[in-house]
Amino acid sequence: MENPIPWWATQIVLALIAIFFILFGINLLYMAYQINDPFSFIMTFFASNFIILISAALLLSFILKIVTNIKKSKEKEG
């Protein structure tokens, strides 16, 4: 049985989720600078950067998957 959802639709949905988490990480980073406690600032700062880093890497991989599959399909056609 064939999958009713196209492969690119799942990649786009995952890319949108990654963009959401990048924006969430940026918001968390902004909130970290408003914390007065040094320990809480450091923990929140590194957590937000970790969220941004992982989300950006995932977003890049989803975009590269879409681009490489489009290039392969164009090479097969012509």
pLDDT in tens, 28-73: 999 999 999 999 999 999 999 999 999 999 999 999 999 999 899 8
Query: Is the CB of residue 67 less than 8 Å from the CB of residue 15?
Result: no
- Entry pTM: 0.85
Query: Is the CB of residue 54 less than 8 Å from the CB of residue 19?
Result: no
* First-to-last C-alpha distance (Å) of the chain: 29
Query: Is the CB of residue 25 less than 8 Å from the CB of residue 52?
Result: yes
